[in-house]
């Protein structure tokens, strides 16, 4: 089989593995987590994927094929993965709205610098999403997903990077951050324009996809209910102080939250120093950590009512559960260590037996965690 017939053959297999009642249970668990309520039966969790959701830059056909294979793997276990397709990440997406060319060197994708000195900020054009732009490529890719699947698979927002990191790409991080002190008027003008472009492109995707829109790229294999707002990458949080965050970053995080109904913020590295200030941001609903562990986040002062999405090691589940209970945390756990080594096509029956044993262990953990509520939706302290 080829083309649409092959896609529908896999979609039929996905539907068999994810019947409506299974999807309803998982959605109810995720929705309870985001409302800060006790889950209806057990704590939700999802397994890390077997391919690179972010660094792989794929054609629409290749991304959909890889995603459908991933859905079929999750369907054989019992996590709360909800079949959907995440288009990917290209850091030049928003810079390209302002005319910056994408620069590709082997597997590294970046954007050319448009700003050499602060006066260049005044010369930036209006953001464009017409033919030939990366934004149009993304929208065409999302529309192709809908057409190729006959609307049977939800589609995520793309990872387009947040305002501060876009500014760092358009200029350079050192010059951009220094401008906050040396030319604050232009600093805020640039951040404001990039934030407007972020909101515009988010809304274009949401309007295009309608009920099929999944409003998170944190993580791309995750699912969120409607109404929880936007997701923003802010990797440069590791470079700044809490005071700098409050004055120069927070106004734009707040604007996104106001315009899009809330916000979840991601950073890689150890951003513990700025975490309490981040959590105090009006409209912040969640925090996504690329490298910090749950214990790191708890020690840094994560607010209990914020949803935390982070990686969790299968071998440390008991300690993770203890941290959740001790601090009353709401955790969207992406668990790694489940899948056998090597490509899935080479997994043996013994490999699958071991994966199922690991899956049963995680289910027991999630069930025990889910019944330890305090009556107000949080795990017992």
pLDDT by residue (tens digit) across 109-144?
Answer: 889 999 999 999 999 999 999 999 999 999 999 999
Nearest-angstrom CA–CA distance, 358 and 315: 10
The pLDDT confidence band at residue 251, using thresholds 50, 70 and 90, is very high
Whole-number pLDDT of residue 95? 97
pLDDT greater than 50 at residue 377: no
Closest CA to 85 of 107, 70, 106: 70
Per-residue model confidence (pLDDT) at position 1: 65
pLDDT for residue 107: 78
> How far apart are the C-alpha atoms of 309 and 286, rounded to whole Å?
8
Q: What angle do CA 353, 358, 364 make, to 5 degrees?
A: 125
Kindly provide the residue ranges of all beta strands, DSSP E only, lying in the chain, ordered along the sequence: 45-47, 102-105, 108-111, 155-156, 213-214, 230-233, 263-267, 284-289, 307-313, 330-336
Phi, psi of 214 (to 5 degrees): -115, 115
Chain center to CA of 76: 24
Residues 262-299 pLDDT 10s: 999 999 999 999 999 999 999 999 999 999 999 999 99
Report CA-CA distances (Å) from 16 to 12, 83, 118, 214, 298: 6, 12, 57, 22, 40
Return mean pLDDT, the chain.
Answer: 95
pLDDT for 2: 65
- pLDDT higher than 70, residue 381: no
pLDDT digits (tens, 9 = 90+) for 149-204: 999 999 999 999 999 999 999 999 999 999 999 999 999 999 999 999 999 999 99
pLDDT higher at 34 or 110: 34
Higher pLDDT, 265 or 40: 265
Q: Over 60: is that where the pLDDT of 53 sits?
A: yes
**Nearest-CA neighbor of 344 among 356, 335, 352?**
352
* Cα–Cα dist 172/114, whole Å: 10
Work out the pLDDT band at 372, boundaries 50, 70, 90: low
b/e 354-377 (16+ beta carbons within 10 angstroms → b): ebeebbeebbebbeebbeeeeeeb
Q: In the structure, what pLDDT confidence band is assigned to residue 105 with cuts at 50, 70 and 90?
A: confident
Q: How confident is the model at residue 79 (pLDDT cuts 50, 70, 90)?
A: very high
């Amino acid at each position: 089989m080829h083309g649409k017939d092959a896609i529908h053959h896999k979609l039929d297999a996905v539907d068999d593995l994810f019947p409506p009642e299974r999807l309803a249970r998982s959605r109810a668990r995720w929705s309870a987590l985001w409302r800060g309520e006790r889950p209806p039966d057990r704590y939700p969790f999802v397994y890390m994927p077997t391919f690179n959701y972010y660094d792989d830059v794929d054609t629409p056909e290749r991304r959909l094929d890889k995603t459908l294979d991933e859905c079929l793997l999750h369907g054989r276990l019992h996590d709360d993965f909800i079949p959907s397709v995440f288009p990917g990440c290209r850091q030049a997406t928003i810079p390209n709205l302002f005319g910056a060319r994408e620069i590709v060197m082997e597997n590294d994708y970046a954007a050319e610098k448009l700003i050499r000195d602060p006066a260049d900020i005044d010369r930036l054009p209006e953001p464009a999403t017409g033919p030939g732009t990366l934004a149009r490529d993304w929208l065409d890719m999302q529309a192709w997903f809908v057409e190729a699947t006959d609307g049977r698979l939800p589609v995520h927002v793309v990872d387009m990077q947040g305002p501060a990191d876009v500014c760092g790409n358009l200029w350079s991080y050192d010059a951009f951050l220094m401008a906050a002190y040396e030319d604050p008027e232009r600093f805020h003008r640039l951040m404001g324009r990039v934030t407007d472009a972020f909101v515009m492109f988010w809304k274009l995707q949401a309007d295009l996809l309608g009920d099929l829109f999944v409003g998170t790229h944190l993580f791309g294999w995750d699912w969120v209910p409607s109404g929880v707002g936007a997701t923003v990458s802010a990797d440069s949080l590791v470079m700044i102080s809490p005071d700098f965050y409050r004055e120069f970053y927070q106004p734009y995080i707040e604007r996104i939250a106001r315009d899009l109904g809330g916000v979840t913020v991601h950073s890689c590295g150890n951003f513990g120093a700025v975490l309490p200030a981040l959590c105090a941001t009006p409209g912040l609903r969640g925090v996504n950590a690329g490298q910090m562990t749950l214990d790191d986040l708890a020690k840094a002062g994560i607010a209990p009512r914020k949803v935390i999405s982070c990686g969790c090691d299968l071998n440390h589940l008991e300690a993770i559960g203890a941290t959740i209970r001790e601090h009353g945390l709401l955790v969207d756990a992406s668990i790694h260590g489940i899948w056998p080594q090597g490509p899935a096509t080479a997994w043996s029956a013994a490999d699958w037996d071991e994966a199922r044993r690991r899956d049963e262990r995680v289910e027991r953990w999630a069930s025990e965690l889910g019944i330890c509520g305090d009556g107000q939706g949080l795990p017992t302290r």
